[in-house]
Structure 1
Amino acid sequence: MIDNELKKKKDCMGCHACLNICPQGCISMESDSEGFWYPAVDYNKCIECSLCVKACPVINKTTVNNEPKAYACFNNNEKIRLESSSGGIFTLIAEQIIDEGGVVFGAGFDYDFELIHSYVETKEELAKFRGSKYVQSKIGDVYHQVKEFLKKGRKVLFSGTPCQTAGLKSYLGQTYDNLLCIDIVCHGVPSPKVFNKYIDYRESSVSSTTRRIAFRLKDEGWKRYSVSFIFNNDTEYLQTFRQDLYMRAFLKDVCLRPSCYACEFKSLHRQSDLTLADFWGIQNILPEMDDDKGTSLIFVNSDSGHSILDKIKDKIIYKEVDINQAVKYNSTAIKSASYNSKRDKFFADLDSMPFDQLVNKYCSDRMGVVIKRKGKSLIYRLLKKIGLLRIIKGVYKY
């Protein structure tokens, strides 16, 4: 069965397709010592139907032959745009699906700050799906829920990582015209266990529980986004991403799932209808679309993707770009994260070391890198303070 077929942890990305398709309910997703989920089979219930193996998107790879188009764009609604990680495009697409009587699946935090996939049917509920969450989400039985809505004729928007989208498509086993899939340009998924350790560290530092977590506040701009915790004692932790302990570990690739270092789904030829990402490098390609409030990079991968984009085009600013030029600055679309040689030691010390000491031990930059980064930051802040930053951007634009 599936646990015997996937002999190495790097071959399983925890998509939950096997759990969803099992007719006996004998597959559970269990956390390993690093906090990542892997399938476990109860052989007392298993009837050896092999559906779990047939539903695995790694074992049964799908080849996509398409010619994706790339666009730079952002939402005309500045409030939604500023509340979003990049350009606020997901919200517009999700609202369109809801206007057409559909349902939207995405990842949001529950009350215990576990990231789970669920669905909403109203625009007011979309806020919980908005914004990046840098931790692996739990799919649960969501694929089964998607299928039930599709069979009833409801339009469904599913948003997730490329491997989660592949898991859904493999589970469904057929094409549905009423299904729209959005994936993201994914750097890799960190361990939920590491994330929980970080929450515990933050809460212990202020002697309070957490009320809200935001990974991508744009208080210092889109490119210098901040991580924010608001606690129930009405205090706030706020730090730029390069200084935040958790983001340092994430960006050093020290806490990612093993499969993320050799991702099977890094490609420009994707199973999703649309791919959303931050348009890093926009200042070099289309400086006129860079106001540091967030610009999205979209890959349109199918006719359905073109159709939904056409429906929202009056609500966005957009321009087609050369996809290869865009990928030049967004290489994680096609390249896996590099394996960090300190990863195993990081996880070995996870349970015994305070979180700040752990990150400082395994994720510190060389002194030269630190000095260079601080110099750039100082110049940026100075230019912004005296009003020259806007002038320089204007000159660069024209």
Structure 2
Amino acid sequence: MIKINQKQNCSGCSSCVNACPKHCIEMVEDNEGFLYPQVDVSKCIDCGLCERACPIINKVSTEHTPTAYACINKNENIRLQSSSGGVFTIIAENVINNGGVVFGAAFDDKFNLVHIYTNTILGISKFRGSKYLQSKIGDTYNQTKEFLGKGTKVLFSGTPCQISGLLSYIGRPDNNLICMDIICHGVPSPKVFRMYRTKLEKQHCATTRRITFKCKDSSWKNYSISLLFSNNKEYKKVVMQDIFMKGFLQNLYLRPSCYDCKSKSLNRLSDITIGDFWGIENIVPELDDDKGTSLILVNSDKGKTMFNQLRDKMILKQVNCDEAIKYNSSAIESVPINSKRDKFFKNLDSRSDDISELISKYTKISFFKRVYRKMGAILSKEKRKLLK
């Protein structure tokens, strides 16, 4: 029976839920808004399958040297609709055009972030764009296994911990399964985001129609968060001015496991890793037009084969992996815990009427310093002194 004694040892991947033959485990939200497995002991037969499926209890390691690329989708329209260079769409379209399915994170009609799948090119659009929340996996691991059993090619995209959970659940290699993870800063509390969204809806006297976490129509590096409401009013602020993003990037309300992520590594289990290529202006300036450039890490022979098949759809250049990671440390390092995190959550429910004020109270340190770190900027000694 799965037991969570320390919350930092559960990433919320839902592998145990998918593995349970009696369906006696459900993911339940705690007081911080994060999901954890809860077992109905009256139905449990103590088979141990949930524990065997847990990627943290049964950590798998691998050693390889990833190949790093700076990439841009040649289709400018898709690139502009994407968070960075638009490479995810190229790979997803290839899988669907070959009779496969693609799993990814999308908002449902109530703006909960959930994992779903599509077998159409049109359906891929739901997966495009950054979503700074943890999606609900649901039974998508089971669905993936069913597709693989039929010989269907599957592209499963998600956070590193979700990919670890899927592979631990599947339990064996499958040539038809392509796993793609992202360079992840960490996942913030869905509860905090709900409170933030509710506040904005009250201010605009309307319900949410669309959420865009990374709107880059004016700038990729200085992107905006946008919420469009049912009355056609729009809230839009650049990343350094939005209160939710401020707390997120200062690690104020991330999931406990994100401060000691067991899935971050240069030796990843995924076939391909994708993310924003922060620092591109210092490494491949000719691919930096501030419209978005993807950092791609090819981690396996399977990933290499697929990537090479699609090179003609991209503008790309191979780069030194160590140099790229220097500007994108979230690929291999967990973020430090914010010392004010416990105090923030202790006061969360009592201050639900004004979440912005509460976040502001606990994010008084230099936000610019955090953003520099997020972007992977290498600061001069003079600038470091100014930020102290």
**How far has the Cα of 1:364 moved from its partner?**
2.7
Aligned counterpart, 1:167: 165
CA distance in 1, matches of 2:270, 2:368: 41
Corresponding residue of 1:148: 146
Partner of 1:303: 301
How many Å separate the matches in 2 of 1:369 and 1:321?
27
C-alpha displacement of 1:365? 3.5
Q: Following the alignment from structure 2 to structure 1, what is the Cα–Cα distance between the partners of residues 52 and 290?
A: 45
Q: What is the CA distance between 1:304 and its match in structure 2?
A: 1.1
Give the distance between the partners of 1:224 and 1:368, measured in 2 at CA.
Answer: 12
Q: Does 1:356 align with 2:356?
A: yes
Instruction: Provide the secondary structure at the position in 2 that maps to 1:352.
Output: helix
Give SS of 1:297's match: strand
Query: Counterpart of 1:313?
Result: 311
Structure 2 alignment gaps of length 5 or more: 373-388
Alignment match, 1:107: 105
CA–CA separation in structure 2 for the residues paired with 1:367 and 1:61: 35
- The corresponding residue for 1:394 is none
The residue type paired with residue 362 of structure 2 is Y
Displacement of 1:366 after TM fit?
A: 4.0
Moved more, 306-315 or 180-189: 306-315
Deviation of 1:352 (Å): 2.1
Whole-Å separation in 2 of the counterparts to 1:227 and 1:324: 30
Distance in 1 between residues matched to 2:309 and 2:213, nearest whole Å? 30
- Would you say the 8 A contact 2:244–2:356 is kept in 1? no
Aligned-pair CA distance for 1:368: 9.1
What's the counterpart of residue 395 of structure 1?
none
> Which residue of 202, 227, 230 maps to 1:229?
227
Q: What whole-Å deviation, never above 9, does each CA across 1:45-101 have from its counterpart, x for those lacking one?
A: 000100101000000010112121000001001111011000000001000000000
For each residue in 1:259-304, what CA deviation from the matched residue of structure 2 results, as whole angstroms up to 9, or x when unmatched? 0000011101001000001000000011111000000000000111
Q: CA deviation at 1:367?
A: 9.3
Instruction: Tell me if the contact between 2:246 and 2:367 (Cα under 8 Å) persists in the aligned partners.
Output: no
Aligned CA distance change for structure 1 residues 299 and 207 (closer, same or farther; 3 Å): same
Q: Equivalent residues in 2 for 1:372-383 (5 A)?
A: none
Task: Report whether the alignment pairs 1:46 with 2:44.
Answer: yes
1:266 aligns with 2:264: yes
| Residue 369 (structure 1) shift | 6.5
Counterpart-to-counterpart distance in 2, 1:77 and 1:195:
33
Measured in 1, the distance between the counterparts of 2:144 and 2:125 equals 20
> What is the one-letter code of the residue matched to 1:355?
I
From the superposition, tell whether residues 198 and 308 of structure 1 become closer, same or farther in structure 2 (CA, over 3 Å).
Answer: same
Distance in 2 of aligned mates of 1:85 and 1:367: 22
What is the percentage of aligned positions where both structures have the same residue?
A: 56
Aligned to 1:24: 22
* 1:304-353 Cα deviation digits (max 9, x unpaired): 11111112111100110010000000001111011001111111222222
Amino acid at match of 2:348: L
Residue equivalent to 1:137? 135
> Corresponding residue for 1:71?
69
Q: Which residue of 2 aligns with 1:118?
A: 116
**Aligned partner of residue 2 in structure 1, secondary structure:** coil
CA distance in 2, matches of 1:289, 1:309: 19
Q: Offset of 1:9 from its aligned partner?
A: 0.3
Count of paired positions: 369
Mapped partners of 2:153, 2:355: distance in 1: 44
- Please name the residue that 2:365 is paired with: 365
Deviation at 1:27, TM superposition (A): 0.6
Aligned counterpart, 1:56: 54
Q: Is the 8 A contact 2:264 2:333 kept in 1?
A: yes
TM-score relative to the length of structure 2: 0.93
Distance (whole Å) between structure 2 residues aligned to residue 96 and residue 17 of structure 1: 27
Secondary structure at the counterpart of residue 310 of structure 1 = helix
* Counterpart contact for 2:183–2:273, Cα < 8 Å: yes
In structure 2, the residue corresponding to 1:93 is in which secondary structure? Answer: helix
Aligned residue number for residue 383 of structure 1? none
Q: Secondary structure at the match of 1:108?
A: strand
Structure 1 Cα separation of the partners of residues 229 and 166 of structure 2 = 36
d(CA) in 1 for partners of 2:99, 2:117: 13
Q: Hey, what's the Cα distance between the residues in 2 that align with 1:367 and 1:149?
A: 45
Q: Pick closer, same or farther for the CA change 1:248–1:77 going to 2, 3 Å.
A: same
Give the structure 2 partner of residue 215 of structure 1. Answer: 213
Per-residue CA deviation, residues 191-227 of structure 1 (Å, 9 max, x unaligned), is 1111111110110111100000001111221101000
2:248 equivalent among 247, 250, 254: 250
| Aligned counterpart for 1:334 among listed residues 311, 319, 332 | 332
1:11 to 3, 9, 33: 9
Instruction: Return 358-367 or 14-23, whichever deviates more.
Output: 358-367
Match of 1:132, SS state, is coil
Offset of residue 359 of structure 1: 1.4
3-state SS of 1:201 partner? helix
Q: Distance in 2 between matches of 1:293 and 1:364?
A: 31
